[in-house]
Amino acid sequence: MTRSVGDWLADFEQALAAPAAADWSALFVEDSYWRDLVTMSWSIETLEGLDAIIAMIRAQQPAIKAGGFTLDDPSLQLTDENQGWFTFETATARARGHVQLEGGKARLLLTAIVELIGFEEPGGPRRPLGLEHKAAKGRTFWPDHRAEEEQTLGHTVQPYCLIIGGGQNGLQLAARLKRLGVPTLVVDALPRPGDCWRVRYKSLHLHDSIFMDHFPYLPFPDHWPLYTPAAKMGDWLELYAKAMELNIWSSTVCTGARYDEAAGEWTVTVMRDGHEITLKPKQFVLATGLSGAKNMPKIKGMERFQGTLCHSADHKARGNMAGKKVVVIGANNSAHDICTDMWEADADVTMVQRSPTIIVRAETMRGMADRLPYADPRIPTDFADLIMAVTPFRLQDVGDVGLTDLLKQLDADFYAALEKSGFMLSHGEDGTGFLAAYRRRASGYYIDVGGSELIINGEVKLAQGEITEITEGGLIMESGDYLPADIIVCATGYRPMNEFVGKLISPEVEHKVGRCWGLGSGAEGDPGPWVGELRNMWKPTAQEGLWFQGGNLMQSRFHSLHLALQIKARMEGLATPVYQPAAEKVAEPAE
């Protein structure tokens, strides 16, 4: 008789009681995967294969003490009897999990932290009263408490956690920490929360549907557009920061940071209102986005150009563009959006494509998104996040090849027309398409919202190859062609996030921490070794007290919980024995 999920959980818990003596081959298939989100590993790790799983269990279970495995709410169970959801506890936390069985043994296992025991968030039935219903002289009220917090934090009271970056990544993490009672300060160089979106070009929209983008504690209203305009997202971030009572120092630039090993704290200098202020946080989070500084190409003669030359991050269509000759260097998301933006402003637009680009149609992907758990109103967002987290990255590549093949069939005429126009098209070097490209931060991609049609129709002109030189009035291509230009926009992406560490902290710490993002897939831009999870993101790094918070809105929301609970546990002095597989113990050198 095949073992049921309930039976497997009982046998698993019994084996955990004596991990050194247990026969783990009776519980896991040889090529099994265990994805752990801050429960057994106190990190974010995927263990691949039976031997790796056994090593982690035997190293961690004596301290973690996982137990109390119970099948979750029956309404959450899938119809397949070989898989199921469950809850359990460790010595310090409550968690949820999912298991998929193959012949009565686990093939896939997910475990994910939910909350710390004894430090639960004050929501729902635990919400504060806000007012004691009796009169008393000398009482203080919410405005007094809020004003005191704003006036003291960073001055007479040091933040336990300092976050650099006031975009969606910094604010979502700050909201989690606020709920957990962690004194947190956000430092941002821009004047207002959300300005990181407001300063972009008007046509910019989110490419993910609204169902995937909800914020912790405060989901978007149900009348919100399916694809959010950038300026509207900027307003939302400002509203969110105010509603969640986040402590933000805007128009403040972080100028340096050093870690004091003996004191176990950071010394961080910031410039605010013309004054240098020194902060002493215990935990230091870089939430400056997916990448680091703007990547401006170095092309001979750039300094001679007489027109406007800027990075895509600084692009804004201003005034009368009619007849202006605009050259956009690049062929990924920003490049297509800017070409469309300038074409709509009646400019004469040319795109310079230097390497093949992965293209997927937004309309086709919208149909695919309807199949995701986020689009089902019966499934809570936090549970949809867990469903999406079940499949380890190694196996996602397999599914991505299938998705890419399906898209090629559905949009065969579109791809044929794009190639006929001369556009260099890619589907990923291993056929995994745009999702893998995003994870690896390697190949360029564009989610088509109209820009491809302009190229197909010749309304946006296409030039290909490298640029030899920039002159006073245009560009000379390697082919010898000359492109006259009044405006040149470099949609050439961003530098690796780890470079920001080298500039802000030190080259030694940059080298110590190694790469950020990417999986070690071996694909171009993502060199090995394979690590199974996104490097350094939302997890302990090789530098004590240094963390990275990044990703799209879905990733930021989901993993901000995991990072916030790791920081809270350290503030409360809980044991956090971090497990690292042997392959990850030596930090990979940065570029």
Picking from 524, 565, 529, the residue whose alpha carbon sits closest to that of residue 44 is 565
Contacts of 213 (CB under 8 A, 6+ apart): 206, 220, 228, 553, 554, 557
The answer on pLDDT for 257 being more than 70 is yes
Which sign, positive or negative, has the C-alpha torsion 390, 393, 396, 400?
positive
Q: Per-residue pLDDT averaged across 309-331, rounded?
A: 87
Q: Which CATH class is domain 144-292+497-515+528-577?
A: alpha beta
Predicted local confidence at residue 444, as pLDDT: 83
Predicted local confidence at residue 500, as pLDDT: 87
Chain segment 4-42, per-residue pLDDT in tens: 999 999 999 999 999 999 999 999 999 999 999 999 999
Alpha carbon separation from 278 to 269, 503, 543 (Å, rounded)? 5, 18, 20
Packing angle of the helix pair 393-410, 433-440 (nearest 10 deg): 140
Predicted local confidence at residue 388, as pLDDT: 94
CA 282 to chain centre: 23
Kindly state the greatest CA–CA separation across the chain: 84
Contacts of 143 (CB under 8 A, 6+ apart): none
d(CA 225, CA 210) in angstroms, rounded, equals 7
Query: And the tokens for 86?
Result: 């469950």
Radius of gyration of the chain (CA): 26
Domain spans, the chain: 5-116, 144-292+497-515+528-577, 302-490
Q: Is 520 left (phi over 0), alpha (psi -120 to 50) or beta?
A: left
> Helices then strands (H, E): number in the chain?
16, 25
Predicted local confidence at residue 317, as pLDDT: 64
d(CA 476, CA 305) in angstroms, rounded, equals 12
Given a contact cutoff of 8 angstroms between Cβ atoms, the answer to whether 357 and 347 are in contact is no
Which sign, positive or negative, has the C-alpha torsion 79, 82, 83, 87?
positive
Instruction: Tell me if 144-292+497-515+528-577 shares its fold with 302-490.
Output: yes
Query: Domain 5-116: which topology?
Result: Nuclear Transport Factor 2; Chain: A, (3.10.450)
Predicted local confidence at residue 366, as pLDDT: 83
Chain segment 463-497, per-residue pLDDT in tens: 999 999 999 999 999 999 999 999 999 999 887 77
Predicted local confidence at residue 521, as pLDDT: 87
Alpha carbon separation from 235 to 169, 196, 198, 333 (Å, rounded)? 15, 11, 8, 23
d(CA 247, CA 318) in angstroms, rounded, equals 34
d(CA 581, CA 587) in angstroms, rounded, equals 12
Predicted local confidence at residue 442, as pLDDT: 63
Contacts of 136 (CB under 8 A, 6+ apart): none
Return the bridge partners of 186, or none.
163, 248
- DSSP-based three-state secondary structure for 582: helix
- Residue 231 corresponds to which amino acid? A
Unique residue bearing structure tokens 């993002």: 517
Chain segment 520-547, per-residue pLDDT in tens: 988 877 888 999 999 999 999 999 999 9
Chain segment 152-193, per-residue pLDDT in tens: 999 999 999 999 999 999 999 999 999 999 999 999 999 999
Q: Per-residue pLDDT averaged across 87-115, rounded?
A: 97
Contacts of 548 (CB under 8 A, 6+ apart): 285, 286, 287, 497, 516, 536, 537, 538, 541
Predicted local confidence at residue 588, as pLDDT: 42
Contacts of 246 (CB under 8 A, 6+ apart): 171, 174, 175, 178, 184, 186, 193, 240
Contacts of 161 (CB under 8 A, 6+ apart): 177, 182, 183, 184, 185, 281, 282, 283, 284, 285, 567, 571
d(CA 296, CA 357) in angstroms, rounded, equals 19
Query: Domain 302-490: which topology?
Result: FAD/NAD(P)-binding domain (3.50.50)
